[in-house]
Amino acid sequence: MGGVAGFSACSLLALSRLGHAKGAGQPGHPVAQNSSPSIQAASMSDSAMGDAITPMGPMPTSARWAYILDSTTNTVLLSRNAEERMPPSSLTKMMTAYVVFAFLASGRIRMEQTFPVSHKAWRMEGSRMFVPLGSSVSVEDLIRGMLIQSGNDACVVLAEGIAGSEERFVTLMNEAARRIGLHNSHFMNVTGLPADGHYMCARDVAVLAQHLIHDFSRYYHFFGEKEFTFNHIRQGNRNVLVDKGLADGLKTGHTDAGGFGLCASSERNGNRIIVAINGTSSTNERAHEGERLMSWAFSSFETVKFLSRGQVVEPKAAVWMGEHRSVALAVAEDVSLTIPVGWSSKVQISVDYPSPIAAPIVAGQKSGHVSAGLPGQPRVYSPLYAVEAVAELGVVGRLMARFGHAPE
């Protein structure tokens, strides 16, 4: 992914300048916008036919739930039933890991610290790292057992060691989930074993992955390790995309109710893609669909920079009662979009500011915004600022301006 589209290249974008004065030339009348000035909308609606929705139109997927995010620009590339509650199975362990990493980052626990193995942990069903009853295991080994071997026993040992009980640790998980914006998730245990009231949605899985990568980058490598041996038992990473070198993390899961799920992430050419799917019918289908969707995301989209930080987009914005009649406006940050390959000419860019802008104006003063996006898709916004200061006219100058003799 990559590329730059020139601002003046009319063949690449449609530019509209908004901000014409309203009401007898009075200052500060903003132009109405249909879109709210947020950085980027976070989701798309799903097709009634069940196909996944993409910016290019419907696309079939064997996953019942799916969500693909370009994490670099926070752009949704694909969505199917992404807000629907689903059984997350061992994808839950990503949330367990988030809380464990938070305790490590704050210094409240240490990698070399050991936690005792309780009878409850030792008796856990499902995937295990096979911790011996009555032993003590280091936090570092438990993390590997949880993320590489998907050990339910490792999760319980960590929960009891940190919070005193699995129940108290689950409270911490739900608190953290609300804090980072997982709006459709609720946890009843640390493992993902079936339980009433235990659910996530595909969007939340991807957002959680995004937070794990960003908030705790120093620990992210655990998700990408290909094997781990504990208690003389060697187990490989269950994420086939990691094993094949197509992803650098994160996690897989399976229950009868939720089917086979996967969350995987990879970075290429400066862009990071996160794929979250669930509800496939087998380990083979999960691996095939995860690989197909990851490849599709990287090959079908590119990130194009349309405007650079500091670039002047309005050279002569009108000024009201100032020593100069106009001021140049520039964008405060780069404006980049992740779009289907070859769609640069469809991008529309709008410049919106109150006109005229009332003096005095301070250099760097925020004066509107620029927005960019494909028709019918969420838009990206960047503030506009005044390039230079414009002083207010004095008493005589203001009188002259009112009689039509304002200075140039």
Catalytic center residues: 90, 93, 150
- For 210-325, where are the E strands, in sequence order? 227-230, 233-236, 249-255, 259-268, 271-280, 301-307, 312-320
Q: How far is CA 371 from the centre of its chain?
A: 19
> How many C-beta atoms surround the C-beta of residue 332 within 10 A?
15
For the chain, give me the number of helices (H) and strands (E)? 10, 20
Q: Measured between alpha carbons, how far apart are the two ends of the chain, in Å? A: 46
CA distance linking residue 193 with residue 210, whole number of Å: 23
Three-class secondary structure of residue 241 per DSSP: helix
What token pair was written down for 385? 């600022």
Q: What are phi and psi of 220, to 5 degrees?
A: -60, -25
> How many C-beta atoms surround the C-beta of residue 300 within 10 A?
17
Q: What are phi and psi of 351, to 5 degrees?
A: -110, 125
For 84, counting Cβ atoms within 10 Å of its Cβ (0-12 exposed, 13-18 middle, 19+ buried), the class is middle
DSSP notation for 142-205: HHHHHHTS--HHHHHHHHHHHHSSHHHHHHHHHHHHHHTT-TT-B-S-SS----TT-BB-HHHH
* Listed residue (395, 383, 89) closest to 254, CA to CA: 89
The three-point CA angle 196-201-205 to 5° equals 115
For 113, counting Cβ atoms within 10 Å of its Cβ (0-12 exposed, 13-18 middle, 19+ buried), the class is middle
* Listed residue (345, 340, 270, 334) closest to 306, CA to CA: 334
Q: Do 367 and 386 meet the contact criterion of CB atoms below 8 Å apart?
A: yes
Q: Do 84 and 76 meet the contact criterion of CB atoms below 8 Å apart?
A: no
Q: Do 23 and 29 meet the contact criterion of CB atoms below 8 Å apart?
A: yes
CA distance linking residue 403 with residue 225, whole number of Å: 75
